[in-house]
Structure 1
Amino acid sequence: MNDVQLVQIIAMLGWLILAGGALASHRLQWKEGLRLALIWGVLFLSAGLLFTLFMD
């Protein structure tokens, strides 16, 4: 792992903490929050997969 990868991992963790704080500020129930997190995760993974398939 080089320095650039380490910085990217730290930045991604920072973004994850920010997103979690924003979600927590809406004071959702655990069930609804987990459902929203899973929906967003599927959306981002799908977009990443499509991007990877079409950019190769």
Structure 2
Amino acid sequence: GTLKPSHVILASGYSEEDARGTIRFSFSASNSLKEVDYALEIINNLAKKFKK
């Protein structure tokens, strides 16, 4: 990862400040559904933790 804002997010029209507050995930055809489900489970658990 990097602390620099994603050029993809910036190119989508977001400000640098907004872009620095994002997390960008990249998937490819070689990712399995199991891997995607695992990533989503972790993200969901973290979101619940930070909502408190």
Common topology (TM > 0.5): no
TM-score between the two structures when normalised by the length of structure 2 = 0.43
Bigger share in helix: 1
TM-score w.r.t. the length of structure 1 is 0.41
